[in-house]
Amino acid sequence: MLPKELLREVSRIEIKTRQLVESLYAGGYRSVFKGRGIEFAGIRQYYRGDEFRSIDWKVSARTGNFHVREHIEERELQVIVALDLSASMEFGSGSREKRETAVEFAAAMSLAAEKNNDRVGVCMFTDEVEKYIQPAKGKTHILRLIRDLLYFVPKRKKTDLKPVFNFLNTTVTRRSIIFMVTDAINLASIDREIRITSARHDLILVLLRDAREHEIPDVGLIEIEDPETGDEAIFDTSDRSAVEELIRRRQKDESALTGRCRQLGIDTIEILAGESVVKAIVKLFSEREKRMTLAK
């Protein structure tokens, strides 16, 4: 039997995200994910009216007649939430930590997938993959996912996305919707890995932020500790030029990140710790639906 505290937490998340889950179920949940699961069914001769893009040029050249590739649509999607559990995710200047907000996001997407009878799995990582729960369906499976998201204790503190991308690229053979949930990403160090993942799957980056990363108040000298390394430093928040330079560098890095993601066709979501995840998810779906409408 599941502990009462877990059931209470699951109930809280369900209540907070119920309207979102219901709206995704009734709306365009499946349609907004590119490359809906399709399986190759075979090759047949081209007939007038067939899509030009479906022509198999190699077979056509070999036979001397146009042939097209046929596919069948899979009845279910596969969703994987990759969640960063490094020490920096435990930071939160407000009522909730980044990890708590990230778990709420992961739980909301898991509940939406379960409502749509889709498979969902979870990959928890630090600077290595610490736990992987293979995609499956059913309420019992979802409860297990949420339990582990809430209570799993990582062994390590640092962040490294290269191992998790390599793991997903070699382990997940079926095309999936992958939500990469993290608070830190250095694209330069994982450019090759992220390109492979985005080519094989529908990859979406979910960036967790804290309000103090966007706005640093003047409170004089403060001691800063890197939660992943333990390194400490003193920072003078009354030096507004230094504060502005720090914020400017962060904004420049984030602008470069979103620009590169746009080039690769990767959507990004930014969520502030303590804020509702519903607004960010609704914005993602709205933007995707708008792009699909314009592409028609």
Does 9 share its domain with 63?
no
Residue 3 has pLDDT above 80, yes or no: no
Torsion, CA 192, CA 197, CA 202, CA 206, rounded to 10: -70
The whole-number pLDDT of residue 86 equals 93
Burial, 21: exposed, middle or buried (Cβ in 10 Å; 0-12, 13-18, 19+)? buried
Does 60 share its domain with 190?
no
Higher pLDDT, 154 or 113: 154
Collect all residues with Cβ–Cβ distance below 8 Å to 112 and sequence separation of at least 6.
20, 21, 24, 25, 29
pLDDT digits (tens, 9 = 90+) for 264-285: 889 999 998 888 888 888 888 8
The whole-number pLDDT of residue 37 equals 47
Task: Provide mean pLDDT across the span 204-231.
Answer: 76
The whole-number pLDDT of residue 24 equals 63
- 129-136 β-sheet, strand order: 129-136, 119-125, 78-84, 177-182, 202-209, 267-272
The answer as to whether 34 is a domain residue is no
Does 159 share its domain with 68?
no
The whole-number pLDDT of residue 65 equals 86
pLDDT digits (tens, 9 = 90+) for 85-126: 999 898 766 668 889 899 989 988 888 888 888 899 999 999
The whole-number pLDDT of residue 36 equals 46
The answer as to whether 35 is a domain residue is no
Residue located via tokens 């339990």: 147
Residue 179 has pLDDT above 90, yes or no: yes
Does 165 share its domain with 53?
no
Q: Percent of the chain, pLDDT > 70?
A: 79
The answer as to whether 161 is a domain residue is yes
Instruction: Assign residue 255 the CATH number of its domain.
Output: 3.40.50.410
pLDDT grade, residue 171 (50/70/90)? very high
DSSP assignment of 194-211: HHHHHHHSEEEEEEEE-H
* Helix (H), strand (E) at residue 257: helix 240-264
The whole-number pLDDT of residue 35 equals 44
d(CA 130, CA 171): 14
Range in 6-20, 252-266, 276-290 with the lowest mean pLDDT: 6-20
Average pLDDT of the chain? 81
Higher pLDDT, 166 or 278: 166
The answer as to whether 130 is a domain residue is yes
The answer as to whether 268 is a domain residue is yes
- Tally the domains of the chain: 2
- Report field, pTM of the whole predicted structure over 0.85: no
Instruction: Give residue 267's domain range.
Output: 4-29+76-295
Does 67 share its domain with 82?
no
The whole-number pLDDT of residue 243 equals 74
Higher pLDDT, 88 or 165: 165
Residue 73 has pLDDT above 60, yes or no: no
The answer as to whether 224 is a domain residue is yes
pLDDT grade, residue 1 (50/70/90)? very low
Residue 26 has pLDDT above 80, yes or no: no
Residue 76 has pLDDT above 70, yes or no: yes
Does 272 share its domain with 219?
yes
Does 134 share its domain with 233?
yes
